Amino acid sequence: MSNLRAAWLVATREMRERSRSSTFRISLAITLVVVVAMIVLPELLLGAARTTDIGVSGATPGGLPAAVQTQAAGVGLTARLHEYPTRGAGEDAVRKGQVDVLVVDGRQLEWPRAADERLKAVVTGAIQVVAISERAAAAGISPGELATVMQPVAVTNVELSAVAGRSSADQTATVVMTGLLLVVMSTYGALVLTGVVEEKSSRVVEVLLARISPRALLAGKVLGIGLLGLAQVGVMALAALIAGTAMGSLDIATLRPAVLVWLVIWFVIGYAMYAMLYGALGALASRPEDAQSSVAPTSMLMVASYFAAFFLIAQPDSVAARVLSFFPATAPMMMPGRLAMGSPGWWEPVLAAVIAVAAIGLLVQVGGRLYATAVLHSGPKLSLRDTWRTALTAPHSPTRGFRLHAGNVWARATRRTTMHRNESSYRWTVTALMAIGVALGVVVGVVTADVIIGVIAGAGFIALTVQTFNLWTGHGGPAPSGS
């Protein structure tokens, strides 16, 4: 059986098994309800807020009700007027919450508590219009002449974004879609991690590796969960589209179609890259509680990429943004924002995608070797250093000979780690990484003239490098026992 055929069989198995699970179906139903509710409920609540009840009593000018409704319509409100025979009856209605404001004798406004400034402006404006009309009539000015004099001047509002040539809608959509990429990639990457740990703890993986190569197994798992995730995102997007259309609130930001196409492409690339890392590093853990610490550097790198893209959104064509958009780990977050806010050459996203795909191919090879070596080990959490050394010396075929060889190497590595772990060297290395992080934070803060960005850069570097060093050396988890 070819590796492609085996990977596809694993992918279809993942899609079939996960889509049939009650957990997946319940989570999908809940997600759809939440998405639709987020669109429908604000519109319903806003629709209720757009209707206001206004009471009138006493000597009311004849043109005031019509003027109030006209002024209210100008600010998106629907005014319903209620006439009360006496002032006392109107005030009782205010106290009972039946009306939002009471207009007495066309001159006095009575509120249940504090005045609503928008409604106050509407009613006050209507009173002024009626008063001006009465004075104009007394002065012999015809209604037509008055309408000409009072014709409002059209004022255009333009919202400037941080980048010239792009609207604020572009900037908002860029922030939203970058956050969506982070959520989707981390969510479905975590599903790959969970699947790897579950199969390892139940020893199902040993049966699968007897017939399928490690690379095909890992690639198939990533492919199957990714396709299922893409379908789930598509269903949610369709539900949001239908709900928005039905409520008449559909307001798609002015993103170019090419940006939306590239967004999907970078979702696929980013998911494949990080899911491979989740799967390969997740195999280092033998227990679910150790899984998160195994992939902590990957999660931190993903979050750091998001924040880098967020802070550079206003500088899409800066040197930092250009460099990060070609680096495979940060390109999925950075390049969609550059396409939406900047003006990169046509070759830039193409080249970045080619580099990222090549990196994914390398991850399939390297990750498959790490996965095959670590997933057959049971016991304490493994270090990445010993896993890598074993992967280089173990046979490629996942046969019984491979498992025995890996077991012997792991036994020697465990004894060596237990006997020769140099805690002093570890502490000095961590101290050096922290010092470098502090220096980096100071430099970034000075260059950007922003203390917050400097602190984030320094803290992010320290957290990422220390976690990676812990993963490499096996620190931060239970120490392996000697044999």
Give pLDDT, residue 390.
72
Where in the sequence is the domain holding 450, given as residue range(s)? 422-483
Give pLDDT, residue 358.
92
Q: Judge if 173 and 102 occupy the same domain.
A: no
pLDDT tens track for 102-144 = 999 888 899 887 888 888 888 888 888 888 888 888 888 877 7
Could you give the CA distance from residue 124 to residue 373 in angstroms, rounded to a whole number?
77
Alpha carbon 354 to its chain's center = 24
Q: Judge if 100 and 211 occupy the same domain.
A: no
Give pLDDT, residue 176.
74
Give pLDDT, residue 405.
45
Q: Judge if 250 and 287 occupy the same domain.
A: yes
Residues of the chain with pLDDT under 50: 397-421, 477-483
Coil vs helix vs strand at 53 = strand
* The total number of structural domains that make up the chain: 3
Give pLDDT, residue 73.
81
Q: Judge if 412 and 426 occupy the same domain.
A: no
- Contacts for 127 with CB less than 8 Å, ≥ 6 apart: 64, 67, 103, 106, 107
Any idea which residue has 């600010």 for tokens? 75
Contact 239, 32 (CB under 8 A): yes
Q: Judge if 239 and 300 occupy the same domain.
A: yes
Q: Judge if 244 and 372 occupy the same domain.
A: yes
Could you give the CA distance from residue 401 to residue 410 in angstroms, rounded to a whole number?
14
- Which of 392, 420, 448 represents a domain boundary (last residue)? 420
Alpha helices (runs of H) in 283-377, residue ranges in sequence order:
288-294, 296-311, 319-326, 331-341, 347-375
Q: 356, 365, 357, 387: which is closest to 473 by C-alpha?
A: 387
Q: Judge if 29 and 57 occupy the same domain.
A: no
- Which of 149, 175, 194 represents a domain boundary (last residue)? 149
Could you give the CA distance from residue 166 to residue 173 in angstroms, rounded to a whole number?
11
pLDDT tens track for 48-79 = 557 888 899 988 888 888 888 888 887 778 88
In a domain, 437, yes or no: yes
- Contacts for 474 with CB less than 8 Å, ≥ 6 apart: 381, 382, 383, 384, 385, 386, 417, 480
Q: Judge if 209 and 127 occupy the same domain.
A: no
Give the predicted TM-score (pTM) of the model: 0.67
Neighbour order of strands in the sheet with 108-110: 78-84, 51-57, 101-104, 108-110
Q: Judge if 30 and 174 occupy the same domain.
A: yes
- Which of 114, 149, 184 represents a domain boundary (last residue)? 149
Q: Judge if 143 and 215 occupy the same domain.
A: no
Give pLDDT, residue 251.
53
Give pLDDT, residue 476.
57
CATH of the domain at 140: 3.40.190.10
